[in-house]
Amino acid sequence: MTTHLLLLSLHLIGAAVWTGGHLVLALRVLPKALRAKDASLVVDFERAFEPVGLPALLVQVVTGLVLALQYSDAPAQWVELAPGFSRAIGVKLILLFITIGLALHARLRLIPRLTDERLVPLAWHIGLVTLTSVAFVIVGTTFRVGGL
């Protein structure tokens, strides 16, 4: 197995955990919690998911950056969103900063103040993180066709 295939396999497993976990949260756990006005359903899921989800995100960042350098070794072009692989990498980095920003906002502001009555702000947060995780997958597939 080549290094590239090993990195890509790890990247796909990490994607399955991160995006799959958020889709289950957004489509199954959150609607039930909103109907029951029971924030503990979301908190319990997050507690079970985080020990696997956060290492998966770290795997995405490490394998993603190493894979990215195999497609374009000019980070300046990533930042400029130069057409092709560089733009796809740049968009991945934008999605990563959005994910980190949302995670910090949840950890520092939403979760500490979470009550059964204050589920709606967390619901919006979960929706945005889930959409961002799906966008990561869609942008990832563009590498097969030359990037963006």
Q: Which residues bind ligand HEM (CB under 6 A)?
A: 8, 11-12, 15, 18-19, 57, 60-61, 64-65, 67-68, 71, 89, 92-93, 96, 133, 136-137, 140-141, 143-144
Provide, rounded to whole angstroms, the least separation between the CB of residue 126 and ligand HEM.
Answer: 15
* Cα–Cα dist 131/99, whole Å: 10
**Cβ proximity to ligand HEM, 34 vs 96, nearer residue:** 96
**Cβ proximity to ligand HEM, 42 vs 140, nearer residue:** 140
Provide, rounded to whole angstroms, the least separation between the CB of residue 35 and ligand HEM.
Answer: 28
Provide, rounded to whole angstroms, the least separation between the CB of residue 40 and ligand HEM.
Answer: 26
Provide, rounded to whole angstroms, the least separation between the CB of residue 119 and ligand HEM.
Answer: 24
**Cβ proximity to ligand HEM, 66 vs 110, nearer residue:** 66
